[in-house]
């Protein structure tokens, strides 16, 4: 197995604090920032409301806020007293507005962690919204479901209404089998018994996507799994932080992989998505399930990512044979067993892991950008960009190349799309690691922490192959050693070049490019497909380059 065919038309234009025009192959966008940095405190969920405000949950203070997208004015609706956050993935998380929000059902549904006799739990709560002039309030909390398991890690916590009027909620695997929770078993494959459901014991709900009636009860048409009907809609999930419905009613979700194979899934009732037995495709590549919790002395063994103690249970992916197993729609990104996590070109092993840390997912179904219609938009914490995955007409397969959009040195937490399809809003984390501007190393220096970034379509500008040809020519292509870059004098001022591999990493920079023919050596790189990107002060162009063995 080789690298998945991906990233052939990469968009990596560096974006600065000031407003700037950025270009993808078939669209151009103007980036601006709504308000200042740290406008938001640990933002988690973002919605474009029917009132034309941006609605945001702030994880650690437990605040729900409306932000005017024109003035950046904050309208704090409520600070929830019993939210119990840590520095982990808990606190105030998902939010959904009732489908009848502007009519007779002005309800806002949220999920958050709190303490029950000192133990961290999750609950879903409904609030009633009221507005007086420009100021809104949330009040009258009604608990839908309580005592869901919670953790300092992998709570997931995305909440959305489906076209069927039901609530869908992602609850992660609680971070078991890794890091500080490495001795905790993963229960993503364990289904509840009828006795547990009758007792409202939700112990085995982690690693699942739940489907609830708006009052928190179990829908009559939920799947029956192992003879039991519960809130569980699908299972075998790791950390699904994104969930979205298409207009046709198809449910999509994305979830974090451990080191590789972040997944984009099409969710079907009753299906099993494999975790922790399978990551990405069931191909026995780059992942075996090492179950640390099977160690008799687990707490006395130091955890190490990527290793497996001799006495722990170890399983290959192909040993998992569930009849209702469903492979992902797309893996970001599949690699082989011999993938080099310590490649010196990567800077460090964290950057070398070919995952993107998908934090949310949106779907683009507008006619505003015709070539984008029926695309999934996956936000990345680790790579500071949005990945566009083109769906086929049926919405059941990803087709074509993966496009990278809106690259900045930030951690993108969630995305919202304006109803006109011409503007995209992204909220950023206040802290944490992401890739640096070159994509070669990790950095904790975020350019726009706790911010709302807006990318607006510039309809008058579009790039074509002719523009590429009028700016530069390259030859030979394919090549085995040298490449010639012929820059046209009318566009050749302050040109920078980068060579990017299929993992989105900059493996070489070209400096000193001058008008006319420039020669550069490429004989130190493995054979494969690369993207050569050239950028001047206000434009960027790109061309695919194929390297083969000499």
Is the pLDDT at 26 greater than 80, yes or no? no
* Mean pLDDT within 331-337: 91
Q: How many helices (H) and strands (E) does the chain have?
A: 3, 38
Q: What is the pLDDT of residue 448?
A: 96
* Mean pLDDT within 424-449: 91
Q: Which of 69-78, 433-442, 470-479, 530-539 has the lowest mean pLDDT?
A: 530-539
- Which residues have a Cβ under 8 Å from the Cβ of 155 and sit 6 or more positions away? 89, 90, 93, 113, 122, 171, 172, 174
Is the pLDDT at 489 greater than 80, yes or no? no
pLDDT band at 2 (very low <50, low <70, confident <90, very high): very low
Q: Quickly tell me which residue has 């083969």 as its tokens.
A: 548
Q: Quickly tell me which residue has 């590789």 as its tokens.
A: 260
Domain residue spans of the chain: 465-547
Nearest to 128 by CA among 145, 107, 111: 107
Is the pLDDT at 285 greater than 80, yes or no? yes
Write the DSSP string, 448-491.
Answer: STT-EEEEEE-TT----HHHHHHHEEEESSSBSSEEEEEE-GGG
Is the pLDDT at 128 greater than 60, yes or no? yes
Is the pLDDT at 104 greater than 70, yes or no? yes
Neighbouring C-alpha atoms within 13 Å toward the C-beta of 189: 12
Instruction: Quote the percentage of the chain above a pLDDT of 90.
Output: 68
Is the pLDDT at 345 greater than 80, yes or no? no
Q: What is the pLDDT of residues 351-407, one digit of tens each?
A: 888 899 999 999 999 999 999 999 999 999 999 999 999 999 999 999 988 888 998
Cα–Cα distance, 248 to 115 (Å, whole number): 39
More confident residue, 459 or 218: 218
Is the pLDDT at 9 greater than 50, yes or no? no
Cα–Cα distance, 427 to 451 (Å, whole number): 6
Instruction: Return the DSSP state at 398.
Output: B
Catalytic choice (154, 204, 231, 237): 154
In this structure, which topology does domain 465-547 adopt according to CATH? Immunoglobulin-like (2.60.40)
- Which residues have a Cβ under 8 Å from the Cβ of 464 and sit 6 or more positions away? none
pLDDT band at 492 (very low <50, low <70, confident <90, very high): low
Is the pLDDT at 5 greater than 50, yes or no? no
Q: What is the pLDDT of residue 438?
A: 67
Is the pLDDT at 15 greater than 60, yes or no? no
Is the pLDDT at 64 greater than 80, yes or no? yes
Is the pLDDT at 462 greater than 50, yes or no? no
Q: What is the pLDDT of residues 411-420, one digit of tens each?
A: 999 999 999 9
pLDDT band at 547 (very low <50, low <70, confident <90, very high): confident
Is the pLDDT at 55 greater than 90, yes or no? yes
Instruction: Return the DSSP state at 272.
Output: B
Q: What is the pLDDT of residues 381-390, one digit of tens each?
A: 999 999 999 9
Instruction: Return the DSSP state at 173.
Output: -
Q: What is the pLDDT of residue 465?
A: 45
pLDDT band at 510 (very low <50, low <70, confident <90, very high): confident
pLDDT band at 70 (very low <50, low <70, confident <90, very high): very high
Is the pLDDT at 21 greater than 70, yes or no? no
Is the pLDDT at 30 greater than 90, yes or no? no
Q: Is the peptide bond before 276 cis (omega within 30 degrees of 0)?
A: yes
Q: Are 99 and 109 in contact (CB under 8 A)?
A: no
Is the pLDDT at 14 greater than 50, yes or no? no
Q: What is the pLDDT of residue 8?
A: 26
Question: Cα–Cα distances in Å, from 408 out to 15, 378, 379, 426, 483?
Answer: 5, 15, 12, 11, 29
* 3-state class (DSSP) for residue 523: coil
Nearest to 498 by CA among 548, 438, 457: 438
Cα–Cα distance, 23 to 1 (Å, whole number): 33
Average confidence score pLDDT of the chain? 88
Q: Are 19 and 30 in contact (CB under 8 A)?
A: yes
Give yes or no: 114 in active site.
no
* Mean pLDDT within 466-474: 65
368 CB-contact burial (10 Å; exposed 0-12 / middle 13-18 / buried 19+): middle
């Amino acid at each position: 197995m080789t690298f998945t065919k991906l990233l052939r038309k990469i968009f990596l234009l560096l974006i600065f604090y000031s407003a700037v025009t950025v270009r993808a192959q078939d669209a151009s966008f103007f980036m601006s920032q709504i308000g200042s940095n740290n406008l938001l405190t640990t933002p988690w969920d973002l919605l474009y409301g029917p009132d034309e405000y941006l609605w945001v949950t702030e994880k650690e203070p437990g605040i729900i806020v409306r932000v005017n997208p024109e003035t950046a004015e904050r309208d704090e609706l409520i600070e929830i007293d019993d939210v119990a956050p840590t520095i982990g993935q808990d606190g105030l998380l998902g939010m959904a507005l009732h489908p009848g929000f502007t009519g007779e059902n002005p309800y806002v549904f949220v999920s958050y962690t709190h303490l029950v006799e000192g133990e961290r739990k999750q609950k879903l709560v409904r609030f009633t919204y009221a507005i007086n002039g420009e100021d809104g309030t949330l009040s009258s909390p009604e608990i839908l479901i309580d005592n869901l398991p919670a953790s300092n890690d992998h709570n997931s916590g995305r909440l959305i209404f489906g076209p069927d009027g039901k609530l869908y909620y992602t609850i992660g695997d609680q971070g078991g089998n890794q890091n500080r929770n490495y001795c905790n078993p993963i229960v993503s494959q364990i289904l509840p018994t009828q006795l547990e459901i009758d007792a409202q014991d939700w112990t085995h709900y982690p690693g699942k996507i739940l489907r609830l009636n708006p009052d928190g009860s179990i829908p009559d048409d939920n799947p029956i799994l192992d003879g039991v009907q519960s809130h569980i809609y699908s299972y075998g999930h790791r950390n699904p932080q994104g969930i979205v419905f298409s207009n046709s009613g198809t449910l999509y979700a994305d979830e974090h992989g451990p080191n590789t194979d972040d997944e984009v899934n099409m969710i079907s009732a009753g299906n099993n998505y494999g975790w922790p037995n399978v990551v990405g495709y069931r191909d026995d590549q780059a992942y075996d399930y090492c179950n640390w919790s099977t160690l008799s002395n687990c707490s006395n063994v130091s955890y190490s990512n990527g290793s497996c103690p001799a006495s722990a249970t170890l399983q290959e992916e192909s040993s998992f044979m569930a009849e209702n197993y469903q492979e992902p729609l797309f893996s970001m990104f599949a690699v082989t067993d011999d993938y080099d996590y310590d490649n010196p070109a990567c800077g460090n092993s964290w950057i070398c892991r070919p995952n993107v840390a998908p934090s949310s997912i949106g779907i683009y179904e507008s006619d505003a950008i015709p070539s984008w219609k029926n695309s999934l938009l996956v936000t990345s914490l680790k790579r500071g960009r949005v990945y566009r995955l083109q769906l086929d007409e049926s919405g059941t397969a990803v087709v074509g190349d993966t496009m990278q959009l809106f690259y900045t040195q930030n951690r993108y937490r969630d995305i919202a799309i304006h109803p006109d399809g011409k503007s995209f809003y992204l909220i950023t984390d206040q802290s944490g690691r992401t890739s640096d501007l070159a994509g070669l190393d990790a950095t904790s220096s975020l350019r726009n922490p706790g911010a709302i970034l807006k990318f607006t379509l510039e309809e008058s500008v579009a790039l074509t192959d002719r523009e590429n040809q009028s700016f530069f020519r390259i030859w030979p292509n394919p090549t085995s050693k040298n490449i010639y870059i012929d820059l046209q004098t009318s566009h050749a001022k302050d040109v920078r070049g980068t060579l990017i591999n299929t993992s989105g990493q900059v493996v070489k920079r070209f400096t000193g490019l001058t008008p006319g023919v420039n020669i550069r050596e490429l004989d130190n790189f493995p054979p494969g497909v690369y993207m050569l990107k050239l950028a001047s002060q206000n434009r960027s162009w790109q061309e695919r380059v194929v390297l083969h063995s000499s």
